[in-house]
A = this chain, B = another copy of it.
Amino acid sequence: MFFETLLLATGNRGKYEEFRAMLPDSFVGRLLFAPEVGALVVDETGDTYAVNAMLKARAWARASGLPSLADDSGLEVAALEWGPGVRSARIVEGTDEDRNRWLLGGMAGRKDRRARFVAALALSIPGAWTLVCEGDCPGRLAEHPSGEGGFGYDPLFLPDGFDVSFAALPAAVKNAISHRAAALRVLQELLSCEGSSGDSPHAVDV
């Protein structure tokens, strides 16, 4: 399936740039940045990434008449009872730096630094269907922020297999291993009709 035009339902420029780099030309022609299309406030009232991603994608699809892709994602930290999770972007008012400071404060003295990024992507076709996929990326938290790339908690997140943060990795590396990349693979597999039906042993493709 190919989309001539796809709206990315986010006001986060970092997310937009990331998706622009990740989405292959064979899948999307032109990727629109939501604030350049219009103004729309979507209440993210869901308790899960999946519901919030769907709310955003459907609201933008309905308002614009365009196929719309939304992401809802968060950081889950073992020592913080796997929070802040779905509230990651809203747990502290302010900037990404403020939230990274809050996170380091909460981790002071903690030995268990396991963490994972989780993302849900929702692709909504106006009046037709919405597809929601999830992905994650396991890792651990650094003692100090590092790197200039990415956004959000990226400067503190060391993905498994690497000793540098998401923010310090080349974008192409992050975009190959990230939670968003994992979710996007499931979405593309399903839409490309390559026969994937997920990991379920109960689903068989014919």
Kindly list chain B residues whose C-beta atoms are within 8 Å of the C-beta of A125: 197-200, 203
Known: A50-B54, A129-B132. A67 touches B202 (CB 8 A): yes
Taking the complex as formed, is A193 at the interface, i.e. its CB lies under 8 A from any CB of chain B? yes
Each complex incorporates copies of this chain amounting to 2
Name the residue in A58, A129, A190, A204 with the highest tally of chain B Cβ atoms < 10 Å from its Cβ.
Answer: A129
Q: Which of A54, A58, A67 has most chain B Cβ within 10 Å?
A: A54
Check A200 against B67 for contact (C-beta < 8 Å): yes
Write out, one digit per residue, whether chain A residues 1-12 have a CB within 8 A of any chain B CB (1) or not (0). 111111000000
A85 to chain B, nearest CB (A): 16
Does B2 lie within 8 Å of A129, measured CB to CB? no
Give the chain B neighbours of A193 by CB distance below 8 A. 193
**Cα of A130 to Cα of B131 in the assembled complex, Å:** 6
Which residues of A from 119 to 136 have beta carbons under 8 Å from B? Answer: 125-134
Flag whether A167 is at the interface (Cβ < 8 A). Answer: no
* Proximity string of chain A (134-146) to chain B, C-beta cutoff 8 Å, 1 when within and 0 when not: 1000000000000
Shortest Cβ distance from residue A23 to the other chain B in the assembled complex, whole angstroms: 14
Given contacts A55-B51, A132-B132, contact A3 B203 (CB under 8 A): yes
CA distance A83 to B126 in the complex (A): 22
